[in-house]
């Protein structure tokens, strides 16, 4: 039976833990998996610009023995030049997997509905599951465990915040989202995370005060204040989010040895200061590399 990866919630706690274990093994023993997807093709649909997603999926499928077919907006223009249904029905006859990075989450839902091959969400406005896999893989590498830790996300309650809550709830990690009023995570996403957390005992919460939010945190995470598609709100958001900047003063309120994470790209001087992102506490480039290993694990599980 075909399986897709559209949100972290598509994996049970056991499946999520298994995926992270597989990703760690792939990272440690890459040659062991060098022919795992030999001859298999991954279509990579990009409706949004990309650095890490493009490189990690492209390199990842090649390192597993397969190959990629990158498709840019000018070549597909989903819903305009051709419907999602028709794109899905074409690609399912030509490739063994579809990766899509787009705006509306409904697009990946529709793609998965119509395609008979696995669909991987590489980012939508609602969810960024591949990023969350890399994030928790990184935290586990540095801290040696996940369950019982506290992760505080500071900033806009966006797609990254949603996926962090979903993953934390599944893995037993307490997740606090510190954000200004009016920029909370999606209510449905928050409710789902709280429901899932009952199984693992994790605490999922939203707070207003970032200083209080990071107290007791083992990891502090932030993202840009204005995501792709929100450029017109940049100046307005800068004023609102200024108190939510991750700087040395904020980091000092967290637990000793707390690490700093960011999904990148970072707007230095806005959501994070140079002295934090360039500090020993920062694991942002280890985290970026782990996109490669986490996504290889997902492709291996879905496309083999």
Q: Quote the pLDDT of residue 228.
A: 73
Q: Which CATH class is domain 132-287?
A: alpha beta
Q: Quote the pLDDT of residue 79.
A: 75
Q: Establish whether 101 is a catalytic residue.
A: yes
Tell me if domain 8-128+291-303 and domain 132-287 are identical in fold.
Answer: yes
Residue among 9, 52, 105, 128 flagged as catalytic: 128
Q: Quote the pLDDT of residue 96.
A: 98
Q: Establish whether 4 is a catalytic residue.
A: no
Residue among 105, 237, 262, 291 flagged as catalytic: 291
Residue among 9, 105, 125, 131 flagged as catalytic: 131
Give residue limits of the domains in the chain: 8-128+291-303, 132-287
Residue among 9, 101, 105, 162 flagged as catalytic: 101
3-state DSSP of the chain: CCCCECCHHHCCHHHHHHHHHHHHHHHHCHHHHCCCCCCCEEEEEECCCCCHHHHHHHHHHHHCCCEEEEECHHHHCECCCECHHHHHHHHCCCCCEEEEECCCHHHHHHHHHHCCCCEEEEECCCCCHHHHHHHHHHHHHHHCCCCCCEEEEECCCCHHHHHHHHHHHHHCCEEEEECCCCCCCCHHHHHHHHHHHHHHCCCEEEECCHHHHCCCCCEEEECCCCCCCCHHHHHHHHHHHHHHCECHHHHCCCCCCCEEEECCCCCECCCECHHHHCCCCECHHHHHHHHHHHHHHHHHHHHC
Q: Establish whether 253 is a catalytic residue.
A: no
- Low-confidence stretches of the chain (pLDDT < 70) are 1
Q: Quote the pLDDT of residue 231.
A: 83
Q: Quote the pLDDT of residue 293.
A: 98
Q: Establish whether 93 is a catalytic residue.
A: no
Q: Quote the pLDDT of residue 221.
A: 98
Q: Establish whether 135 is a catalytic residue.
A: no
Q: Quote the pLDDT of residue 1.
A: 62
Residue among 105, 263, 270, 295 flagged as catalytic: 263
- Which of the listed CATH numbers 3.40.980.10, 3.30.70.920, 3.40.50.1370, 3.40.47.10 matches domain 8-128+291-303? 3.40.50.1370
Q: Establish whether 291 is a catalytic residue.
A: yes
């Amino acid at each position: 039976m075909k399986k897709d990866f559209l949100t972290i919630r598509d994996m049970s706690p056991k499946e999520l833990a298994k995926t992270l274990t597989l990703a760690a093994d792939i990272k440690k023993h890459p040659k062991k998996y060098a022919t795992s997807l030999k001859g298999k093709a991954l279509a990579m649909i990009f409706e949004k610009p990309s650095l890490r997603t493009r490189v990690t999926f492209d390199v990842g499928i090649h390192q597993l023995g397969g190959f990629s077919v990158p498709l840019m907006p000018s070549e597909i223009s989903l819903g305009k030049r051709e419907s999602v249904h028709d794109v899905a029905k074409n690609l399912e006859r030509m490739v063994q997997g579809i990766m899509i990075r787009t705006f509306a989450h409904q697009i990946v839902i529709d793609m998965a509905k119509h395609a008979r091959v696995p669909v991987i969400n590489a980012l939508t406005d609602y969810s960024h599951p591949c990023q969350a896999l890399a994030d928790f893989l990184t935290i586990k590498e540095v801290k040696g465990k996940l369950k019982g830790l506290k992760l505080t996300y500071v900033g806009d309650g966006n797609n990254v915040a949603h996926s962090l809550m979903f993953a934390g709830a599944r893995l037993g990690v307490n997740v606090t989202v510190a954000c200004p009023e009016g920029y909370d995570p999606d209510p449905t996403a928050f409710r789902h995370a709280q429901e899932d957390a009952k199984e693992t005992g994790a605490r999922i919460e939203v707070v207003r005060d970032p200083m209080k939010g990071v107290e007791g945190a083992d990891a502090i995470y932030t993202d840009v204040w204005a995501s792709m598609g929100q450029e017109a709100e940049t100046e307005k958001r800068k004023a609102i989010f200024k108190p939510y900047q991750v700087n040395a003063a904020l980091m000092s309120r967290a637990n000793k040895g707390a690490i700093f994470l960011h999904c990148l790209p970072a707007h230095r001087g806005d959501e994070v200061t140079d002295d934090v992102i360039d500090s020993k506490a920062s694991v942002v480039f280890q985290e970026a590399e782990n996109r490669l290993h986490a996504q290889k694990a997902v492709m291996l599980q879905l496309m083999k």
